[in-house]
Amino acid sequence: MIFWTITILVFLGSIFLSIRFFGNLLDFVAEKSSGRGIQNGPWKTHLGVGRKSTSRIEKAAIARIGLGANDSEETIYWNAFTDQDNQDLHSSCNYRIVFNSSPQVKFHEKGFWSITVYGDDKFLVPNDEYKYVIHSTKALDIPQNGAMEILLSRKKPEKTDNWLPLPQQDENFSLAYRCYKATEGMKKHPLETDMPKIIRI
Amino acid sequence: MNPGIYLLIILAATIMGSLTGLLISIRFYPLWEIRKVHKHMLKEGVKNGEWSHVKSFVDHHIKVVVKPNCETLYSLAFIHRKEGPYVLHIPAFSNYASFAFLDENTHVMGYITNKDIQHDKESTILIHYTEEEKKGLEIPAIQLDSRLCWIIGRFGVQNPEEIPAINLFQENIRLRKLSDGNKD
């Protein structure tokens, strides 16, 4: 009798623990695997966001890292957890995000893009300047051809406003590159889109 | 019973329990996350059919939803099928705007975007569940097929000086039950 009670408790405990730590499994799915998603350099996306045809595990992963996200018709969300050399993004390093051409959004349809830094906990990085994002609707040092650079570092540089702060503690971080009203080119051929490079300095 | 058999049974119970938990989580995780937001809004006193406006950019103190964006302002509302169709009134707006309609499992059931929103006058949109509810109403409509719907409005801000005007726009977005008639 005692043995079967223990067995049932072990069964129920395993269910509880499995549910309790499911979020951590989803983090792994989202960060370490592109699943059936798309990877262009270090940037990963999933064009099935918000769609019924997307698998349940992918829907769960999307709910974990991007609850309430628009579908790809409206916005394409790219996430990066590594740099161009496939090394984890880490706050102890400095990086340059290099755009070789103008981001692929329909500016004429009020489209815009943004780059945001998130800490290891997936929330905005605490900083005294309350600076978390660079987006195309703000005044930026953007030349005519769209080529530009954004610096990622803990310390604010003196020369440029195109800068985003990294976490002060040693931790991994991630980047989100949002393209509101992406061009048909990015939607149809995301693998061939010229994406910004993430270069460790 | 042989102690080895005991261990095998315990191991089997652990594996079966873990798999059951995994299957339950895969099936229900999006639902739990949406419900969490819904409960949070109800706790804050925002009932179904009412808007909760995020009137300034999210900062690092906000920990409600992971990976929040901080280049748009938000207006959020939940509506429930039992309350019947709603009419959504959107004031004139010329910046980027979108309203996404998500069901309980995070599927996007429809959108209202800049092409549906007038930039010089108010736009009126019916949110309904059946064809019958739309009969005789000659206004743009969006049809839902879930019990609970999460409406997420996103509004682009080109510079911080625009924020007061966008806040005013947010305050004037109205959701009205169709059954309430043309009260206002």
Question: Looking at the complex, does the CB of residue B26 fall below 8 Å from at least one CB of chain A?
Answer: yes
Q: What is the pTM of this model?
A: 0.82
State mean pLDDT over A122-136: 88
As a whole number, the mean pLDDT across chain A is 84
Which among B2, B10, B24, B26 is the top mutation candidate for probing chain A, defined by the most A β-carbons within 10 Å of its own β-carbon? Answer: B26
| pLDDT computed for residue A16 by the predictor | 87
Are A137 and B65 in contact (CB < 8 Å)?
no
pLDDT at residue A139 above 50?
no
Which among B29, B34, B112 is the top mutation candidate for probing chain A, defined by the most A β-carbons within 10 Å of its own β-carbon? Answer: B29
Nearest by CB to residue B59, choosing from A73, A130, A138, is A130
Complex ipTM tops 0.95: no
| pLDDT computed for residue A124 by the predictor | 93
* Chain B residues whose beta carbon lies within 8 Å of the beta carbon of residue A8: 13
pLDDT at residue B93 above 80?
yes
| pLDDT computed for residue B106 by the predictor | 83
What are the E-state strand segments in A29-135?
Answer: 38-40, 43-45, 75-80, 95-99, 112-118, 133-135
Tell me how close the Cα of A194 comes to any Cα of chain B, in angstroms.
23
Nearest by CB to residue B16, choosing from A11, A59, A133, is A11
Under the banding of pLDDT at 50, 70 and 90, the label for residue B59 is confident
Per the CB < 8 A criterion, the answer to whether B36 and A68 are in contact is no
Nearest by CB to residue A51, choosing from B107, B150, B152, is B107
Non-local CB neighbours of A188 within 8 Å, separated by 6+ positions = none
Task: Show contacts of A186-195: CB within 8 Å, 24+ apart.
Answer: A186/A76, A186/A104, A186/A105, A187/A47, A187/A72, A187/A73, A187/A76, A190/A38, A190/A40, A190/A45, A190/A47, A190/A76, A191/A38, A191/A40, A193/A40, A193/A104, A194/A100, A194/A101, A194/A104, A195/A40, A195/A41, A195/A43, A195/A78
Nearest by CB to residue B66, choosing from A65, A109, A130, is A65
| pLDDT computed for residue A52 by the predictor | 76
The better pLDDT of the pair B184, B41 is held by B41
Under the banding of pLDDT at 50, 70 and 90, the label for residue B116 is confident
**Nearest-10 Cα torsion for B16, B19, B25, B28:** -80
The size of chain B, in residues, is 184
Tell me the count of A-B CB pairs closer than 8 A: 169
Residue in A with minimal Cα distance to B113? A74
Tell me how close the Cα of A127 comes to any Cα of chain B, in angstroms.
8
